[in-house]
Structure 1
């Protein structure tokens, strides 16, 4: 891993001196925040990027800077409609990419929602689990043949995985009382476990997968939070600060840096099957600390296999 990279490293610092001409990437969630910055940085360094978004009109407006970077250099950018809360939309988007046939050097599953009021996807799944995990699970597995040998998959998890493990018996909160942060934490744990099992299944082709904690960033991700959910987050941050752990919000370029690092310049052997933060492999910790570290249950290989099987059953497809 590159020396000097850390919590304040930006995307352009990660890619300083790196030419991505000839490389092709897919980034989900390019209508705001981290997704837009991730796409911009890759395109600015010569890459071809496909950006997926639910609302194409919003994404067109949000990615003006990405298009400008493409026009001023050798990179390119195009949009793909993808609603992760609808399996029909996921299948249609994957089918379009498969029919196109062009390969990807890495897929970055960046899109997500956070601490939403209780809701259901178009297919009846708990909204956060269905959108953040199952939508990406189906999409990424369907397009996995398009990832080049030696390519990478990067899935965005979160320090909020500390809030909750995934309940494999009730992932959709059908009998468990709903709590927005518990549901978000469970979905982010699922994102980490998905990367663990994807890495195991695809490393024979040299493809490595990792999950990423981008850090605390003020983006649109929290737009659905109720006052109660916001108060819970504020209390958690205050508790970290009071215990001496510290907490500092990142800029968007700092928040996107670990995703870009993992997808492009990190040593694949070091990051494969791991949870990453601040442009390095995170420390495993036994106690709750939303600010740093990964809980053992988010890297548990046996639970990752069980979640894979559960997810296949829920989406009705096997991979």
Structure 2
């Protein structure tokens, strides 16, 4: 590539000179945070964005100013989607299929983090059900709208290092619930889903990747109080100091969404296909013995394991009652 980017790069820097006129993009979760900035930056470069959200009024308020400020904005339309309800997911997919318009990019951005134990409408553990299974059904149901050259970008997290998926007890029916372990499972699932989707669709010119946006102060942290957040940062910095690495720094929204738009619209497809990206580059595999801080560089081997990805796909199909 002619340009290189890093953790400090912003969406506008990454997309500088990129013309997305005529491109259609589906993004989940454009009512706050990274989703709004991702939609704004892509629309500002000419893309037509379809935002799938639970609260349309909130999303309309959140996106209105950003699109109005864009120099050459593409369009924005909103469609209702509650990832914690498969009925809502299927209804959203049916509406998109009925419209018949294809997508160049699908960005599975929406998610929840470290919430108290709860279950989705369909009885799945809330984080796994929302972050993974909801997107699993939506993306697979609309896969026919993804044409040759299109990409799927799954928002994962460095939090995948907390835990691998548990295919024997995905809903914590027999395992004591831990909010961060549950988050880790769901974020590992986001990566494994991208790995297997990429393998299945690569022959048709469709690629998939997973990205870690970095640490950003958004609504995602609403279940954490400031004391817990500060304690977590101190733990991270202690690990970083021990490893001779710089301390943790929060990213801005523009920096956080940069890896998403880089992987979606700038990076070479063969570079990011089936991979895990962070700070606008492909993440390096970590050894199993390395410490798994919440926010540091690298990807756990289990998150890229092809056989594990296939097994998760089969388990996910069984859980949602559909074959893809």
Separation in structure 2 between the aligned mates of residue 242 and residue 130 of structure 1, nearest angstrom: 36
- Aligned CA distance change for structure 1 residues 102 and 7 (closer, same or farther; 3 Å): same
Q: CA deviation at 1:2?
A: 4.4
Q: Deviations over 1:34-74 (max 9, x none)?
A: 0000000000001100011111111111111243156x525
Residue matched to 1:16:
16
Separation in structure 2 between the aligned mates of residue 227 and residue 257 of structure 1, nearest angstrom: 26
Q: Deviations over 1:16-46 (max 9, x none)?
A: 0111101110111101000000000000001
Of 283-292 and 270-279, more deviation after overlay is shown by 283-292
Q: CA deviation at 1:123?
A: 0.5
SS of the residue aligned with 2:110? coil
Q: Does the Cα contact within 8 Å between 1:69 and 1:75 map onto a contact in 2?
A: no
Q: Does the Cα contact within 8 Å between 2:133 and 2:320 map onto a contact in 1?
A: yes
Of 112-121 and 280-289, more deviation after overlay is shown by 280-289
Q: CA deviation at 1:239?
A: 2.6
SS of the residue aligned with 1:293? coil
SS of the residue aligned with 1:26? strand
Please, what TM-score do these two structures have when normalized by structure 1?
A: 0.96
Separation in structure 1 between the aligned mates of residue 250 and residue 96 of structure 2, nearest angstrom: 36
Q: Deviations over 1:284-319 (max 9, x none)?
A: 011124311000000000000000000000011000
Q: Does the Cα contact within 8 Å between 1:193 and 1:307 map onto a contact in 2?
A: yes
Q: CA deviation at 1:230?
A: 3.8
Alignment RMSD = 1.5
SS of the residue aligned with 1:209? strand
Structure 1: stretches of 5+ with no match in the other structure: none
Residue matched to 1:314:
319
SS of the residue aligned with 2:220? helix
Separation in structure 2 between the aligned mates of residue 159 and residue 35 of structure 1, nearest angstrom: 18
Q: CA deviation at 1:228?
A: 8.1
Residue matched to 1:256:
257
Separation in structure 2 between the aligned mates of residue 5 and residue 261 of structure 1, nearest angstrom: 9
Structure 2: stretches of 5+ with no match in the other structure: none
- Aligned CA distance change for structure 1 residues 113 and 2 (closer, same or farther; 3 Å): farther
Structure 1's consecutive aligned runs of 4 or more residues displaced over 3 angstroms after TM superposition are 226-232
Q: CA deviation at 1:125?
A: 0.3
Q: Does the Cα contact within 8 Å between 2:189 and 2:312 map onto a contact in 1?
A: yes
Separation in structure 2 between the aligned mates of residue 66 and residue 311 of structure 1, nearest angstrom: 36
Q: Deviations over 1:258-302 (max 9, x none)?
A: 110111111001111000001111000111243110000000000
Residue matched to 1:35:
35
Q: CA deviation at 1:231?
A: 6.2
Separation in structure 1 between the aligned mates of residue 119 and residue 228 of structure 2, nearest angstrom: 18
Q: Does the Cα contact within 8 Å between 1:40 and 1:69 map onto a contact in 2?
A: no
Of 127-136 and 58-67, more deviation after overlay is shown by 58-67
Q: CA deviation at 1:76?
A: 0.4
Residue matched to 1:280:
281
Please, what TM-score do these two structures have when normalized by structure 2?
A: 0.95
SS of the residue aligned with 2:142? helix
